[in-house]
Structure 1
Amino acid sequence: MPIREATAGDWPHIWPFWHRVVAAGETYTWDPDTSEEDARNLWMNPAKRVYVVEDDGGAVVGSAYLTRNYGGPAARIANAGFMVDPRHAGRGIGRALAEHVLAEAGAAGYRGMVFNAVVETNPAVDLWKSLGFTVLGTVPEAYEHPRHGLVGLHIMYRSL
């Protein structure tokens, strides 16, 4: 599955699944009512390197961004966000995208990657652990999950 840097023209293909994922309120701390303009500014921010995954037909089925998490003397710690179109879940797209972004982060000189708020009920927690991330801590009952009620937010880290 081809993975490439995103262009501005990819946003109309990212937005429908971005909106579905965020509106579901199960995995991201962003407001489920985020407007398309605000979502584009969040995801396609020029400070981020954004990637897309295409299926065999060339349709965008996933996206990720890579950015620094901190500034100054800690600027070599990366952060990333990942989304796969729910209609294409379970096909290895998330893993392929994560492996690509981790390699890109290492090549860019980052020493590690941190995720600041991973909903503890998110199925991707198992993916992150399988890729070498550890849970540094959990903020208890920090997330109001629509099905599970109050759940924790993991802070996860992996060195590169």
Structure 2
Amino acid sequence: MLLLARMGSYWRNIVRSVRSPKTVGVRALIVDETNRVLLVRHTYLPGWFTPGGGVEKGESPVAAIRREIYEETTLQVTGEPQCFHVYFTNRESRDDYPILYVVREYSGNATIGDESEIAEIGWFPVDSLPDGTSPSTRRRVAEFRGLSPKSDRW
């Protein structure tokens, strides 16, 4: 009887996870030696954002942020990305967990990748972000600068 109860609980959890899928995303706050951050503008979305994207099946978040940075900016991450915070957001009936990394060690010059959906790349002082910077990007930079506490919500 206990086994049947456990199996019922197991199947309920599977059905629940299928009905409300969860995703993991990664974003990078790439900071240069003069304390500027690298932001990107997408071809499909207005505004400036931190580079990043989704974690693919079988991929670790650190591998994903390295891949996304290269795909979007052609920069090679040479050091260990530092996990800044894990956030939560719920959009389109899906729980999403964006992980923000701080990256200070990289090589190359930031250019748009060959197969990228990036329209523009720019380096900006942390205290002078460009017009059109997304509200979530502004919040993440403020948290990084210590001007506001880290939020659990993206």
TM tier, smaller: under 0.3
By relative contact order (CA 8 Å, sep 6+), the higher-ranking structure is 2
Give the TM-score normalised by structure 2: 0.24
Give the TM-score normalised by structure 1: 0.24
Rg larger in 1 or in 2? 2
The structure with the greater share of residues assigned to helix is 1
